[in-house]
Amino acid sequence: MLAREVLEELIRVLGRDNVLTEQEDLLTYAYDATAAMKHHKPDVVVAPLTTEQVADVVKIAMRYHVPIYTRGSGTNLSGGTIPIAGGIVLSMLNFNKILEVDQDNLTATVQPGVIIQTLNDEAAKYGLLYPPDPGTVTTATMGGSVSECSGGLRGLKYGVTKHYIMGLQIVLANGEVIRWGGKTVKNVTGYDLVALFTGAEGTLGIITEIIVKLIPAPEAHKSLLAVFDDLDKAGGAIAAIIRNKIIPATLEILDNVTIQTVENFVHAGLPMDAEAVLLCEVDGYKEVVQREAVLVEQILNDEGAVQVKIAKDDKERDLLWLARRSALPALAQKRPTTVLEDATVPRSKIPDMLKAIRSIATKHNLQIATFGHAGDGNLHPTILTDEREAEEMKRVHLAVDEIFETALALGGTLSGEHGIGIAKMKYLDREFGEAGVAALRRLKEALDPNYLLNPGKIVRRD
């Protein structure tokens, strides 16, 4: 319960309209897109308009020891925006301006509340592209995306969010406002705090401005679908494409459960009995796209694909990608609860990981569909379940534990793109050991000694 003075001070700084305290308002900030997570209502939701107001809110929170949970669209998938200890939710949705697209320096400067797709629409006017492409591109904010270091479908060729963040304005936990980085490609001045704040899930500081790198949009693209009756052959095809020095923009895999579910949902012509399909897109200059598409087709055939289909026009291409993008919504319709993980392995381990997931599903008698970014080893094993079924949920938790153990055993990582948040905290020491987690904690405490910024995420007070 918030002290009355805190509320009064917040209203004094932000005005009555930007301070929400009605129960029905608070309720909508009690959860995010993560499945099977306990809801927690904040005490107040504030929506500042300026960086100075954000700094003022931080100073008030510091004075009264009230936690702050910075929030964009709340699409995150590891419980990262849930206000687990009450306090202030700081909505950045008023920070919704694209401040500049700089064609000469290939940068854009945006406020953190800008939707990723809005930036891309603006960049497209100049023939430019902001490559990070998470599934939530049309709803997630840039601030949330930077804080989670979003991945998405273009990771293999273009990298992920951290590869495109050049500068940040940050409000620190002590209320100081600092700029790190800028518009220069090269910058080795001091520690790389732009990188440290990227993916820090709002636990180290509050982002109030972002400079991103843009690239020239590729002039052409071509998509292919390959059908496999064997997981190892699909894995072999992925390796063969890379060994032939082709780096597709996108290289996705859908397993049999996903294929069947998606096909029933969108009728894209996927083969219901296939063990796996690969979806591949090459992009770039038109001559290169042509050459690479022919080569990829040949490799897929050589590696034993039952069928390979090149999308002959934009309509066919769009249908293929609609199928891929429908994987999650289609699966989500099958059972009330969809536990979506993002265990990630080196790409050469994709077949091993897929087989392990399958045997974990059998062992625990669960329905697990797997799809994801095969090209960068980032799979989404998706457990279809019902959080009201206590006994089944026990098996779900066991299966999740085993999925993470398998990923780590294969040289992978706990999270490829969804972050640690609350959901994966308990696994952290399996990847880094206790000494590694202690190092993370010391960094947290260096920048937020009182655990006021998004407390209870990534690392907890010892």
> From residue 158 to residue 177, what is the string marking binding to its own copies with x (rule CB under 8 A)?
-xx-xx--------x-x-x-
- Point out which span in 5-13, 26-34, 199-207, 358-366 binds its own copies (CB under 8 A): 199-207
**Residues within window 243-282 making contact with its own copies, judged by CB under 8 A:** 243, 245-247
Q: Residue 242: what residue type?
A: I
Contact 370, 357 (CB under 8 A): yes
Q: How many residues bind its own copies (CB under 8 A)?
A: 91
Nearer to its own copies, 84 or 437 (CB): 437
Q: How far is the CB of 310 from its own copies (least distance, A)?
A: 19
Nearer to its own copies, 169 or 382 (CB): 169
Structure tokens at 282: 């090459």
Edge-first strand listing for the sheet containing 88-91: 19-20, 44-46, 88-91, 68-71
Residue holding tokens 């020095």? 245
Question: In terms of C-beta distances under 8 Å and separation of at least 24 residues, what long-range contacts does 258-265 make, across chains too?
Answer: 258/327, 258/330, 258/331, 258/369, 258/370, 258/371, 258/382, 261/327, 261/330, 261/331, 261/334, 261/369, 262/323, 262/326, 262/327, 262/330, 263/323, 264/330, 265/326, 265/329, 265/330, 265/333
**Residues within window 378-417 making contact with its own copies, judged by CB under 8 A:** 378, 411-417
> From residue 21 to residue 40, what is the string marking binding to its own copies with x (rule CB under 8 A)?
--------------------
Site membership for its own copies, residue 242 (CB under 8 A): yes
Give the chain's radius of gyration (CA, Å): 22
Nearer to its own copies, 310 or 438 (CB): 438
Structure tokens at 228: 């496999």
The per-residue b/e assignment along 155-175, b for 16 or more CB within 10 angstroms, e otherwise, is bbbbebbbebbbbbbbbbbeb
Nearer to its own copies, 157 or 364 (CB): 157
Q: How far is the CB of 266 from its own copies (least distance, A)?
A: 26
SS3 of residue 15 by DSSP: coil
Half-sphere exposure of 57 (CA within 13 A, CB side): 32
Half-sphere exposure of 430 (CA within 13 A, CB side): 19
Structure tokens at 211: 């400079």
- Point out which span in 37-45, 61-69, 81-89, 100-108 binds its own copies (CB under 8 A): 100-108
**Residues within window 35-64 making contact with its own copies, judged by CB under 8 A:** none
**Residues within window 284-323 making contact with its own copies, judged by CB under 8 A:** 284-285, 287-288, 291
Using CB under 8 A, pick the residue from 118, 141, 145, 198 that binds its own copies: 198
Nearer to its own copies, 238 or 368 (CB): 238
Nearer to its own copies, 28 or 103 (CB): 103
Using CB under 8 A, pick the residue from 200, 320, 383, 453 that binds its own copies: 200
Nearer to its own copies, 4 or 243 (CB): 243
Site membership for its own copies, residue 233 (CB under 8 A): no
Using CB under 8 A, pick the residue from 13, 44, 193, 254 that binds its own copies: 193
Spatial distance between the Cα atoms of 89 and 206, rounded to a whole number of angstroms = 12
Nearer to its own copies, 153 or 366 (CB): 153
Q: How far is the CB of 339 from its own copies (least distance, A)?
A: 18
**Residues within window 129-148 making contact with its own copies, judged by CB under 8 A:** 148
Spatial distance between the Cα atoms of 129 and 134, rounded to a whole number of angstroms = 14
Phi, psi dihedrals of residue 176, rounded to the nearest 5°:
-75, 145
- Point out which span in 181-189, 255-263, 300-308, 394-402 binds its own copies (CB under 8 A): 181-189
Q: How far is the CB of 299 from its own copies (least distance, A)?
A: 14
Site membership for its own copies, residue 325 (CB under 8 A): no
Strands (E), 214-336: 215-216, 220-228, 250-255, 276-284, 307-310
Within 304-452, residue ranges assigned H as helices are: 314-325, 327-332, 350-363, 390-409, 428-447
Write the CA distances from 144 to 75, 243, 412, integer angstroms. Answer: 8, 35, 24
Nearer to its own copies, 29 or 158 (CB): 158
Nearer to its own copies, 336 or 433 (CB): 433
Q: How far is the CB of 146 from its own copies (least distance, A)?
A: 11
Site membership for its own copies, residue 199 (CB under 8 A): yes
Q: Is 372 left (phi over 0), alpha (psi -120 to 50) or beta?
A: left
Q: How far is the CB of 457 from its own copies (least distance, A)?
A: 11
**Residues within window 437-456 making contact with its own copies, judged by CB under 8 A:** 437, 439-440, 442-447
Nearer to its own copies, 42 or 72 (CB): 72
The burial class, CB within 10 Å (0-12 / 13-18 / 19+), for 102 is middle
